[in-house]
Structure formats: structure tokens, C-alpha cells
Amino acid sequence: MFKKGCTIFRWWALLAILGMSATSGAAGALVPGQAAPSFSLEDINGRAHALAQIEGREMAVLFFFDAGSPASQEGLLMLGRLFKQYPDKQLTVWGITRSSMDAVKRFQQEAQLQFPVLLDPGDVSARYDAKIVLPVVCILGPGSKILDYFQGGGKMAETMLVRLAERQIHRQQPQLAKAIAASVADKNPANAQAKAVEGYAAMAAGKNDEAARVFNQIAAAGGDDAAIGQEGQAAVLARQGQADKALALADEVTRKAPKRAMAHKIKGDLLMGKGDRKGASNAYEAAAKQTEAPIFQKAEAYNQLGRLYTQEGDFDKARNLFDQAVQMDPYYIIPTSNKGVTYEKQGIWDKALAEYRQALALDQADSMTAVLSRKAEQMLALQKDVAGKQRMDQLVRDLAQRYKDQKSQPANSTADEWTSRPMILTFIDIQEKGGLSERDGLAIVLTTRLGELLNSSGRVQVVDRALLESLLAELNLGSSELADPETALRLGKVLAAKLIGTGSLLYLSDSTLLNLRMIDSETTAIAQTVMLRITAQADLERELYNLNRSILRNVMDKYPLQGFVVQADAKEVMINLGSRQGVATGTAFDVIEAGESVTYKGRVLRGASKSVARLETVRVEPDLCYARIVEKQRELARDDKVKEMLLQEVRGGGSDK
């Protein structure tokens, strides 16, 4: 019995000396997915640090080491240097040691770490199986669940740091990912996986040329690692829009190194762009099965496969795949958002909202999910408002009947053809074409957020999305019917919309191309065409804000407000336009009158109208406004015509009408 114990002791001692790893499957070792054991320890200054303090923090690294053993400190010191250069408030690093107070003080004085070293009497190290083999590194994710667990130094320390770098890709920390990976590659130039993370981090930051240089170096080195470089080259070519070259190279990698998951995923994306859904499906299935890929790439493969099943209407299978992607990489919020969209498409708003909120808990700055969440909240509120829902249902039935009878929604028609009516706009349908985007719901976000922005301007009233979607469901109109311009026009007229927004989103390998057309429902003329390219690094909120401004400028230019003077005195006039038509404080008007007519060869030629006064709105009510007289050439009277001045005219002093 004694002899057997000595043998075991010698084996563990040998493992510690060689810096080898006890695998996560070893007895007593922790495994990814389980909750980390809770604890509270003090640093050398007596300050307490409890695991509960970092609940909700995005990531925590617990580094168990020996303050007297340089071999167990290497990874911690590397993290210390990186932490000084790239501080991250959402990343907690704690060194944990059973070494004496004096040894820890000496270590701290030499290392000058920016994070605390905690003194462990032994209980915590035992719970984390960190008493025999050191270092032990435990990476915790949301909810203090274990993401990764590593035992040992040497090569295992490199593996730990590369994994930590990979985790930063979907944490939106490409600079930190690159720095961690570069530190490993500098120490070990043969570590192709570390170099590859540098390349993917550059791509995440939108630096495709830099990424190409990194992958070219890996591919040029040859050997078994060449496939890693070629796979990255294919990813860059796809991002640059060189689909044929990217597909050929990805296909070559799948033949040479069939277990490389990313090459299959790239093939799937490119085949979808070519309309080969069957080939894409096979490629995504292959990507999900392969074993050689960083976790963030495996998660992306599962997400794409889930997107494919979503398009096919198999929502249960899609949600299962999205869950697997998140389980691999909880910082990858896109599958969670995509899962929410599957519930939204089924009208299960409470579950959709739960998924959106879960994604926002990790990234509050994600503008797409924020918009989707607000819409889900509004739909839930509508469902709970019984009286409001009954009114909505009745309105939908009335509109559906008018559509079937091909009657337009009755406008407030009077003999007054001059006075502007409210500018009502509706987005009928945005067709999605091309490849398979990583994120679902862009068309929903685009129309919803544009509606919010345009409505807030006061100048345009956008038809409520809930009303429109209920009407489409009542009429059983799908994408194929809505692609018909005549159908869109009929819908627009029933909704009394002056402008109808329609168009397409074309998903390319390097970007998304929006083609938006604003159609005048009365003349059927295209009032505005917008072409917008949205890249992966684009600020979507900024892009939509600028698009909103472009639409508003076009509305003001082509449909200036027109009305009449209701009454006037020496300083102020009342106009028969108010906030319902889009008047706001500061809106400027010309008072105009017809120019003199000229008779020429029996024809009466009407002269151009001219401005006789300038007005600036000072108070606005729903159906009227009051404006001060800025200048005038004559006294103003009831029934004088007014017309909105364009912004450039206000700034430039105006021009004759």
C-alpha cells in the first residue's frame, strides 16, 4: 500500500515538474458549463474579494500559482503586462496562491500587477483542484459559469492564452485578442493558432489587409499548419468580395484538411450567395461536425446552420442550434438574438423578449437587439390592452375589406387642393436576397427604427408596424405577393399613405446592400431612391439616422408644406397647418402670390409666383400654428397662400418662388 502511494506521488511530482496538464476529465477537475465554486479571500492588504462581487461581469480569470515558482507565474505575468496596456473594466483577473504572505509581497513588488493576488489557506485551491499541479487557470463567463479550465504550464499555458484570446473576438475586444495572441506568437513563432487569432482579430476590427498578411505568413510556412493560413486567406477573400477565389481556396482546404470547420462554413456562406441552398446546407452540416476549429468559429458554424433552418421554417431545430452556439461561446450574442427572431416570427412575443433581454444583458450597446426588444415590448403591451387590441382588430378587418374591394382609405378630401395633408408613409416590404446573413431581423430593425426616427421628427407619420403586420396576416400576403409593386401600391392607398417604402437587402460576402425606393402612391412615380452599403463594422444606428435625415430632406424638398393665412395682424399670423401636418417651432414659410399673367398668341401664360412676406413659426397646435412676420412687402390678409421655405433658402436668404 505504501509503495503504491509513493508511485502515485512520483507521477504527480513528475507532471508538476514537466508543466503538463491534468485534463479537465481528471478526477476532481472542474468542467466547462458548471457553476464555479464560490469563495471569499483577502489580498495582502486585507481587502476581501468574493466571487459574488464579479457576478454580472463579462469575464473573470482565476489564476492559481506558486509565488515562489517562476514556472507557474509565466502566464500570470504575461496577463499583467497586457492588463497594463489594455485595461478592460469587464475583465476581472485574480491571482490566487497558497504561498506565504512574505513570498506574495516579494512577488507583487517585482511584478507590479494591476490586479490583486489573493491569499488562500488551501480550501479554495482544493475546490478548484489546484493544489498539486500548478498553474491552474479557470476562465469564468456570465453567471460565473466555467468556460475553460486548464492545468499546467508550458504548452498548456500557451493553449490557455490562445483560448483567452479567442474568447475576446465575440466580446468585441479585437485589440485585446490580438495583443494576447501576439504575446504567445512572439514567444513561440511556431504557434500557428495564435497567429491565426491575430488575423481573425484584425478582420473583426475591419483590417482585412492586415489579416491577409498574417494568414499569408502562416500559409507560406507550409507543413500541417498551412491549412490554417489558407482557411484564413479564404475568409479574407470572402470579406473582400472575391467570392470565386474564396470558394476555390475553401474547397481546397476541405480536401486537404477536411476536419477544419471554418473552411466548410466559408463554403456554405459563399454557396448561399450563389443560390445553391443544397450545397450550402451540406457545407454547414459538415462545419458543425468537424473537430478542428476555435470555439468562436464552431459557434459561428452552428449559428449559420440555425439561420438556414430558420429560413426553412424549422424553428425548433434552429433554436436548438442557436442554443448550442451560445453554450460554446456565451459572448456570441447573435445566436441569442436570432433565437428571439424565431419566436417573433411565430408571434410568441414573451419568449422573443426574453431572448432579446438576455442578449442585451451582455451587450447593451447592440443596437439591433435594442430595437427588436422595444418592438417585442410594444407587441406584448398591445396584447395585454384588450380594448386596444379589439380596436386594432376591427380596423384591420375594415382595411382588409377595403383592400379586397380595392377602395382607398378615405382622406379628408375637401375642395381645398392647396393645403397639405399629413405626410403618411408606410414601409410595405423589404425583400432579403443574396447570401445568408449572420444576423436575422435586419429588415425588421431597419423598418422599425426608421419608423421611430421619422415619427419623432414630427414631419412624417409612419404607419404602425403592428397594424401593417396584422393587415398582411389578415390578407395572407407573403413575400412573393409583396414583391409585386402593384400590390404594394394598393396596400399603400388603403392605408392612406402618400409615400410607400419598399426595396431589398442584398446580403453580400463583404457587406449588405440596401436598395430603398420611396414611391408616391398617387402618381406612382419614384420619389426617392437610396443605395446604402452596410459593412460589418458600420455603426447601424448612425447609418439609419443618416438615412432618416435623407428621407426627411427629400420629403421637405418635394412636398413642402402649403396652407393659408387664417387671420393676421401687424406682427403675427395664424396658419391652417399644425403638428398633424408636420409643422414645428421654427418652421419658415413664404407668403406667396401669383405672378402677373401674360397673353401671347392667344395663350395666357401664368407668371411665376413670388414671395411677399417671410414667416417663422413660434407656436404650434395640432391643427394650426402661429408665426411671426419676419419681413413683408404688403399687409397680409386671410386666404393668403403660404409655402414652406427649404432649409437652404432659410440659410441663404431665400430666392423668389
More confident: 391 or 87: 391
pLDDT band, residue 237 (cuts 50/70/90): very high
Same domain? 500 vs 619: no
Backbone angles phi, psi at 592, to 5 degrees: -120, 155
Taking residues 399-412, report their average pLDDT.
73
279 falls within a domain: no
**Same domain, yes or no: 408 and 537:** yes
Residues, the chain: 657
3-state helix, strand, coil in the chain (%, to 5): 50, 20, 30
The last residue of a domain, from among 94, 118, 153: 153
Show the cell assigned to 361. Answer: 444583458
Residue with cell 429588415: 443
CA dihedral (283, 284, 289, 295) positive or negative:
positive
Is the pLDDT score of 407 beyond 70? no
Residue 292 domain-assigned? Answer: no
* Average pLDDT rounded to a whole number, residues 142-159: 90
Instruction: Say yes or no: 535 and 403 in one domain.
Output: yes
Q: What pLDDT does 414 receive?
A: 55
Q: Is residue 393 predicted with pLDDT exceeding 90?
A: no
Domain membership of residue 381 (yes or no) is no
CATH code of 43's domain: 3.40.30.10
Same domain, 533 and 639: no
The residue-averaged pLDDT of 131-156 equals 91
Per-residue cell: 284 = 454547414
Query: What are the pLDDT digits (tens) for 600-616?
Result: 777 877 767 889 999 99
In a domain, 499, yes or no: yes
CB 606 within 8 A of CB 563: no
Using CA atoms, how far apart are residues 588 and 606, in angstroms rounded to an integer?
26
- Number of folded domains that form the chain: 3
415 pLDDT more than 90? no
Residue type, 273: G
| pLDDT at 29 (0 to 100) | 62
Residue where one domain finishes, among candidates 153, 169, 198: 153
**Domain membership flag for residue 510:** yes
pTM of the predicted model, to two decimals? Answer: 0.85
CA-to-CA distance for 246 and 242, rounded, in angstroms?
6
Q: What is the CATH number of the domain that holds 515?
A: 3.40.50.10070
Last residue of a domain, one of 153, 176, 205: 153
Q: Does any domain span residue 177? A: no
* 572 and 466 within one domain: no
Residue 116 has pLDDT above 70, yes or no: yes
Same domain, 409 and 498: yes
554 with 571, same domain: the answer is no
Percent residues over pLDDT 90 in the chain: 69
Q: What is the pLDDT of residue 58?
A: 81
pLDDT at 4: 38
Q: Which pLDDT band, with edges at 50, 70 and 90, does 44 fall under? A: very high
Distance of CA 519 to the CA centre of its chain: 29
Are 413 and 550 members of one domain?
yes
**How far apart are alpha carbons 416 and 256 in whole angstroms?**
75
pLDDT for 538-591, tens place per residue? 899 999 999 999 999 999 999 999 999 999 998 999 999 999 999 999 999 999
Beta bridge partners of 222: none
Residue 655 has pLDDT above 80, yes or no: no
266-301 pLDDT, tens digit each: 999 999 999 999 999 999 999 999 989 999 999 999
Going by their DSSP bridges, the two strands 526-534 and 146-151 should be labelled as unpaired
Structural domain contains residue 122:
yes
pLDDT for residue 18: 35
Q: pLDDT tens digit string along 214-230?
A: 999 999 998 889 999 99
What was the pLDDT predicted at 23?
40
Q: Does residue 413 carry a pLDDT above 80? A: no
* Shared domain check, 119 and 17: yes
Taking each continuous run of H as one helix and of E as one strand, the counts in the chain are 24, 20
Query: Is the predicted pLDDT of residue 411 greater than 60, yes or no?
Result: no
248 in a structural domain: no
Assess whether pLDDT exceeds 60 at residue 652.
Answer: no
CATH number at residue 637: 2.40.10.410
Same domain, 34 and 108: yes
Residue numbers of the domain that contains 488: 390-558
For a pLDDT cut of 70, what percent of the chain falls above it? 92
30 and 146 in one domain? yes
Type of residue at 420 = S
Distance, CA of 3 to CA of 438 (rounded, Å): 59
- Asked if residue 414 and residue 519 are part of one domain, the reply reads yes
- The pLDDT of residue 397 is above 60: yes
